[in-house]
Amino acid sequence: MLAPLTTQEAVLSSRIEGTQATMGEVLEFEAGREAASPERREDINEVLNCRATMREAERLLATLPLSQRVVREAHKVLLAGVRGENKSPGDYRRIPNWIGPPGCTIENARLVPIGADKLPDPMSAWERYAHDEAPDRLVQLAILHA
């Protein structure tokens, strides 16, 4: 019953990176229909990786606490065999990045995350906060997600 919801979440999450596959295209691909183009096949594979990443994280969290290790292992699955597989899967980025329309500059980006050189300390703080006692766990999870 949850599989379609997981697929839909993977489709929506992949859109952040510019992936254009629809839920219908992913389901048709899994049923044996060939993708309309090589580009669409790449998009579908990214969605499938996103879904596989969720399953891997769930598997890891059965025995490990939420941690940087879990994040890094999940990242390896996310980038396996798709665009970005050459970008150090399982490691934090070492160069600046941003989210925006294709070809946009950092100045026109919708989101510019923290600089790569400053990432290790905040990620350690993120992990510590994940294990802190919080008066409202839902608020804590929302902050962790953000």
User: Domain locations in the chain?
Assistant: 1-91, 93-146
Does 88 score more than 70 pLDDT?
A: yes
Does 56 score more than 90 pLDDT?
A: yes
15-53 per-residue burial string, b: 16 or more CB within 10 A, e: under 16: eeeebebeeebbeebeeeeebeeeebebbbbbbbbbbeb
What was the pLDDT predicted at 77? 95
Q: How far apart are the first and last CA of the chain?
A: 28
Kindly state the average pLDDT of the residues 78-88: 87
What was the pLDDT predicted at 83? 84
Does 85 score more than 80 pLDDT?
A: yes
What was the pLDDT predicted at 9? 85
Banded model confidence at residue 63, pLDDT cuts 50, 70, 90: very high
What was the pLDDT predicted at 99? 87
Share of the chain above pLDDT 70, in %: 99
Does 1 score more than 70 pLDDT?
A: no
Alpha-carbon separation of residue 29 from 17, 41, 49, 78, 120 (angstroms): 20, 8, 14, 18, 39
